[in-house]
Structure 1
Amino acid sequence: MKKLKEYIMRFIQGFCMAMADSVPGVSGGTIAFLLEFYDDFINSLDDLFKGNLQQKKKALSFLVKLGIGWVVGFLLCATILVSLFDKKIYSMSSLFLGFIIFAIPIVVAEEKKVLKGKYKNILFLILGIALVVVISSLNSGTNLIKVGNITHLTIPLAIYIFLTGMIAISAMILPGISGSTLLLIFGLYIPIMTGIKETIHLNFSYLPALIIFGLGVICGIIFFVGLIKKSLNKHRSETVYAILGMMLGSLYAIVMGPTTLDKPLPCLSIHTFSIISFIIGAIVIFGLQGLKKLMESK
């Protein structure tokens, strides 16, 4: 029974990460940190590539459970929820605001030991906020870089897609920084999401570009995950403060989310804010916390 509860919890965690990763404004890393499995996630990714055989097996078991939920969630987002975000962006933005605002106190309580008395590290909190706000501000509703048709690959375009994959996955792993927002900035969000959707419908013209993007993602994981793991192990207080800053900064990114659509809309305001969606976001985080406690109980 406990094993079944773990599978269900990992599936839900992966599903929630995919929802965040597939739309601009929220990071899958944010979800992992809010739901308190970020350390396990980072350690498993690092062990999968750098650990011994036993560590690799344990990491693979964890990531497969999480990955099933992520794949299901991402495919659903790529085929259905992306259009929902276009049509109901204010409701979805309000939902994510509720999710994060009510989850941050939970994170602070969990990390109380490393935060208490280390108030000089508030500088890292400020830097985290500034980093996300600056990155989010770079995209003002239009891509800074225009990318041509990715079905017609050239060597420069292939290199560009590869490097963008490396950068985007680092953002998706870090709490607060949206990889989708970076893809928007680099002009690849719509081509990549379109490519995934078309490939699902058996149009394989986008597949070479998606493979190159995927290789960039893998290289990004190998390079960046080790750095994050070392930071959490050796400088946890500073790192947690920075992560909390990035999570707070993501509130700004969510508010500005409507401006990043293909057809930009005004940012979220008091007039477009949905209190119902906000409350649902709160209910979701408390529900997931309850499920987590249920899973941990004997």
Structure 2
Amino acid sequence: MTSSPPLPVKPAAPTVRSSLAHAVRGALIGIVELVPGVSGGTVALVLGIFDRLITSANHLIRGVVRLAFKRGGQGVSHHLGGVEWSLVIPLLVGMFFALFALSGPLHAFVEGEPTLSSALFLGMVSASLLVPISMAREAGPVTRRTLIAGPLVVLAVAGAAFWLLGLPSMQVEDPAWWVLVLSGAAAVCALALPGLSGSFILLTFGMYEPTLEAVSERDFGYLALFASGAVLGLASIVQLLAYLLRVHRRAVLLVATGLILGSLRALWPWQDNGTLLPPDGDWLGPLLAALGGATVVLLLWLRERRGIAAAASL
């Protein structure tokens, strides 16, 4: 008999300080969504808001669907009332601000300092592995079966992700409207699935440069088609993920761990067209950048753990 997953801690009443903090969290998610190999879902895990975001998104989607097709007033009120608006609204504001205001400078940093930026993100993503691992351990009792099956699932998923990320990327010129819709649907999975990088998905299918250019140049026609696909993709993946987190929480977290582990291939600082190379002579700077990135993530994780523990003790 397995125990139920721990119930999420009831959020405190919103304040100006908490709203600003959520806006900063949204900005962090927006920033990493611009970087190939780094997942916004992973950042949400590290920041301790992953479950709350999935729950709120699931309620929002169900409420909108009921309003549009079922005309059920009571059901609409129930689902929209289940959305944690004090988290979602400032988070979205911060995320879109970062996407539009920082896309240019961040792209310049990634393009101008590819080795240093990759090392920085490698350290951050490596340290973030602690988050799904600790959550999986807390998802239920540890048995002999889970001790054997858990690492096997992680290694199998990591191996598949490692192989897929080694495939050569393409470049699409003047994409058709349906390509933009499908690209948005695929890329938005990274917001819901830790370990999947929306930017790397776009890079693999040759849509990263056109999309980043559209964001930088405010091409709203392009962005509208991309966003419509993102809405469709998010509506389907969020409901599935919300169900799996309720019924198979540990399995989802183990898969997330494998995806994050396998995604490290995309962030190895020394590679050429997907071929991994040994470090060159100038390795001290990238090493310090990786250690710095890992330290930032560990500090954020420890801070969130202390906050959750303090809230649960009240």
What residue in structure 1 maps to residue 136 of structure 2? 111
Q: What is the CA distance between 1:252 and its match in structure 2?
A: 1.5
Q: Pick from 55, 67, 92 the counterpart of residue 67 of structure 1.
A: 92
Asked whether the equivalents of residues 115 and 269 of structure 2 are also in contact (C-alpha less than 8 Å), the reply is: no
| 1:47 is the counterpart of 2:72 | no
What residue in structure 2 maps to residue 94 of structure 1? 119
Asked whether the equivalents of residues 9 and 292 of structure 1 are also in contact (C-alpha less than 8 Å), the reply is: no
Q: What is the CA distance between 1:257 and its match in structure 2?
A: 8.3
Q: Write the letter of the residue equivalent to 1:171.
A: A
Question: Aligned partners of 1:295 and 1:82: how far apart in 2?
Answer: 33
Asked whether the equivalents of residues 256 and 268 of structure 1 are also in contact (C-alpha less than 8 Å), the reply is: no
Task: Point out where structure 2 has 5 or more consecutive residues left out of the alignment.
Answer: 1-12, 64-75
Q: Write the letter of the residue equivalent to 2:111.
A: D
Question: Aligned partners of 1:99 and 1:67: how far apart in 2?
Answer: 22
| 1:19 is the counterpart of 2:31 | yes
Q: Write the letter of the residue equivalent to 1:108.
A: I
What residue in structure 2 maps to residue 252 of structure 1? 265
Q: What is the CA distance between 1:85 and its match in structure 2?
A: 0.5
| Matched ranges for 1:189-228 at <5 A | 189-199=208-218, 206-228=219-241
Q: Write the letter of the residue equivalent to 1:56.
A: L
Alignment CA distance shift 1:54-1:178 (3 Å): same
Alignment CA distance shift 1:112-1:38 (3 Å): same
Secondary structure, in 3 states, of the residue corresponding to 1:111? helix
Question: Aligned partners of 1:9 and 1:128: how far apart in 2?
Answer: 33
Q: Write the letter of the residue equivalent to 1:277.
A: A
TM-score relative to the length of structure 2 = 0.79
Question: Aligned partners of 2:137 and 2:236: how far apart in 1?
Answer: 29
Question: Aligned partners of 1:31 and 1:132: how far apart in 2?
Answer: 18
| Matched ranges for 1:270-281 at <5 A | 271-273=281-283, 274-281=286-293
| 1:32 is the counterpart of 2:44 | yes
Question: Aligned partners of 1:89 and 1:67: how far apart in 2?
Answer: 28
Q: What is the CA distance between 1:110 and its match in structure 2?
A: 3.7
Asked whether the equivalents of residues 131 and 301 of structure 2 are also in contact (C-alpha less than 8 Å), the reply is: no
Whose helix proportion is higher, 1 or 2?
1
Q: Pick from 199, 205, 209 the counterpart of residue 180 of structure 1.
A: 199
Asked whether the equivalents of residues 132 and 253 of structure 2 are also in contact (C-alpha less than 8 Å), the reply is: no
Alignment CA distance shift 1:136-1:77 (3 Å): farther
Alignment CA distance shift 1:170-1:103 (3 Å): closer
Structure possessing the higher radius of gyration over alpha carbons = 2
Question: Aligned partners of 2:270 and 2:194: how far apart in 1?
Answer: 17
Q: Which moved more, 1:2-11 or 1:76-85?
A: 2-11
Asked whether the equivalents of residues 36 and 198 of structure 2 are also in contact (C-alpha less than 8 Å), the reply is: yes
Question: Aligned partners of 1:108 and 1:186: how far apart in 2?
Answer: 30
Asked whether the equivalents of residues 45 and 131 of structure 2 are also in contact (C-alpha less than 8 Å), the reply is: no
- Cα offsets for 1:114-152 (capped at 9, x unmatched): 37321223332123213321331123xxx33x42235xx
Task: Point out where structure 1 has 5 or more consecutive residues left out of the alignment.
Answer: 151-156, 200-205
Question: Aligned partners of 2:270 and 2:77: how far apart in 1?
Answer: 43
Alignment CA distance shift 1:162-1:55 (3 Å): same
What residue in structure 2 maps to residue 138 of structure 1? 167
Q: What is the CA distance between 1:54 and its match in structure 2?
A: 4.7
| 1:165 is the counterpart of 2:184 | yes
Q: What is the CA distance between 1:194 and its match in structure 2?
A: 0.4
Secondary structure, in 3 states, of the residue corresponding to 1:114? coil
Q: Write the letter of the residue equivalent to 2:252.
A: T
Q: Write the letter of the residue equivalent to 1:190.
A: E
Question: Aligned partners of 1:136 and 1:126: how far apart in 2?
Answer: 15
TM-score relative to the length of structure 1 = 0.83
What residue in structure 1 maps to residue 245 of structure 2? 232
Length, aligned pairs only: 279
What residue in structure 2 maps to residue 56 of structure 1? 80
What residue in structure 1 maps to residue 73 of structure 2? none
Across the aligned residues of Structure 1 and Structure 2, the Cα RMSD in angstroms comes to: 2.7
- Cα offsets for 1:219-243 (capped at 9, x unmatched): 0000111111111111111111111
Asked whether the equivalents of residues 177 and 250 of structure 1 are also in contact (C-alpha less than 8 Å), the reply is: yes
Asked whether the equivalents of residues 126 and 245 of structure 1 are also in contact (C-alpha less than 8 Å), the reply is: yes
Q: Give identity over the alignment, percent.
A: 23
